[in-house]
Copies of this chain bind each other. A is one copy, B any other.
Amino acid sequence: MLKAILHYVNRPDSAGRNFAPEISFTKANFLSRLHLMISCKQSLFVLLALLLPVVSHSAEAKPNFVVIFCDDLGYGDLSCFGHPSIKTPNLDAMAAEGQKWTNFYVAACVCTPSRAGLMTGRLPIRNGMCSDQRRVLFPDSSGGLPPSEITISSALKGLGYKTAAVGKWHLGHLPQYLPTSHGFDSYFGIPYSNDMSKEGKTSHFDLAEAEDYSAYKVPILRDEEVVEQPADQRTITKRFTEEAVRKIEEFGDEPFFIYLAHNLPHIPLFRSEKFKGQSSNGIYGDVIEEIDWSVGEIRKALKATGVEENTLVVFTSDNGPWLKFKTHGGTAGMLRDGKGSTWEGGMREPTIVAWPGTIAPGIVHEMGSTLDLLPTFVSLAGGELPDDRVFDGVDLSDIVQGKTSTSPRETMFYYHGEQLYAVRKGEFKAHFKTKTSYVGQNKPEVFDPPLLFHLGHDPGEQWNVQAEYPEIAEELTKLAEEHTSGVERVPSQLVGRIGE
Chain A interface residues (CB < 8 Å from chain B): 75-76, 79-85, 87, 92, 96, 102-103, 279-282, 284-285, 326-327, 331-335, 348, 363, 365, 427, 454-460, 462-463
Contact at B463–A326, with CB atoms within 8 Å?
yes
Interface SS, A side:
loop
- Report the Cα distance A455→B85, complex, angstroms: 8
Please name the residue on chain B nearest to A76 by beta carbon: B334
Q: Closest Cβ of chain B: how far from A132's Cβ, in Å?
A: 30
- Report the Cα distance A427→B280, complex, angstroms: 8
Other-chain residue from B75, B85, B332, B456 in contact with A456 (beta carbon distance below 8 A): B85
- Report the Cα distance A102→B79, complex, angstroms: 10
Report chain B residues within 8 Å CB of A92. 363
* Closest 10 A/B residue pairs (Cβ): A82-B82, A280-B456, A84-B102, A282-B457, A85-B456, A327-B457, A333-B334, A331-B334, A84-B459, A81-B82
Report chain B residues within 8 Å CB of A84. 75, 102-103, 334-335, 348, 365, 459
Could you jot down 26 A-B contacts, CB within 8 Å? A75-B84, A76-B333, A79-B363, A80-B80, A81-B82, A82-B334, A83-B459, A84-B102, A84-B459, A85-B102, A85-B456, A87-B363, A87-B365, A96-B96, A279-B456, A280-B427, A281-B457, A282-B454, A282-B456, A282-B457, A285-B456, A326-B463, A327-B458, A327-B463, A331-B334, A332-B334
- Report the Cα distance A458→B76, complex, angstroms: 13
Report chain B residues within 8 Å CB of A460. 331
Report chain B residues within 8 Å CB of A463. 326-327
Please name the residue on chain B nearest to A426 by beta carbon: B280
Report chain B residues within 8 Å CB of A348. 84
Please name the residue on chain B nearest to A456 by beta carbon: B280
Contact at A365–B85, with CB atoms within 8 Å?
yes
